[in-house]
Amino acid sequence: MPTIIVNDKMQTGYSYHLSAREGKDFAPDFQPELTPKQMLEMGVFEGHYLTDCQSEFPKDWFEKARINPEYPDESLNYFGIKSRLPLREWQNRGWIIAPDVRGWFQWYCRYYMGRRLPLIDSLQIKRWKSFKRHKAQIIKNCYMGDINCRKKQRQALLQWAYNPLF
């Protein structure tokens, strides 16, 4: 299995080994509903995520990705709304877990590719599982099929690999 060398605006001198098959061999309690490619194509993080580090990931993830390397653009999000806090706020809240300096989605992309870091994986999977509470709130408060109900929560679910279109 290959080793990935990272050299982008936010991270240099980091490398990781892929020890699992891409998109396979996930922890039993981690069953994301969307792949990173699907998420990027639907529109996440206002199109301003992974724009300088595409060489780390498969090229086909970016063929139809809704991204803008210049600036965040909320119209690129699936629900067309502002959906994120600045990275500094993520850092202040302790949401950035090394070595994934860009946060949960970067961890998920690397995990999806086949990187396994048991301690970090366990923490991130726990965070992912706790996010499912937003899906329960939508189910409780919205009519089935009304995707315009609770758009912020739906966009957030999308950004955590949950299908927001239920």
Q: Is residue 149 included in any domain, yes or no?
A: yes
Alpha-carbon distance of 12 to 26, in angstroms, equals 27
154 is in which domain, residue-wise? 20-158
* Residue 32 near residue 161 (C-beta atoms within 8 A): yes
DSSP class of residue 83 equals -
Alpha-carbon distance of 166 to 99, in angstroms, equals 33
The total domain count for the chain is: 1
Q: Is residue 15 included in any domain, yes or no?
A: no
**What's the pLDDT score for residue 91?**
86
Alpha-carbon distance of 154 to 75, in angstroms, equals 15
Q: Is residue 65 included in any domain, yes or no?
A: yes
Alpha-carbon distance of 165 to 89, in angstroms, equals 28
pTM of the model: 0.95
Structural tokens at position 139 = 């189910």
Q: Which residues contact 157 (CB under 8 A, 6 or more apart)?
A: 131, 134, 135, 138, 163, 164
Q: Is residue 85 included in any domain, yes or no?
A: yes
Tens of pLDDT along the chain (166 residues) come to 799 999 999 999 999 999 999 999 999 999 999 999 999 999 999 999 899 999 999 999 999 999 999 999 999 999 999 987 877 887 888 889 999 999 999 999 999 999 999 999 999 999 999 999 999 999 999 999 999 999 999 999 999 999 999 8
Q: Is residue 6 included in any domain, yes or no?
A: no
**What's the pLDDT score for residue 2?**
92
3-state secondary structure of 72: coil
Q: Is residue 164 included in any domain, yes or no?
A: no
Q: Is residue 3 included in any domain, yes or no?
A: no
**What's the pLDDT score for residue 94?**
86
Q: Is residue 140 included in any domain, yes or no?
A: yes
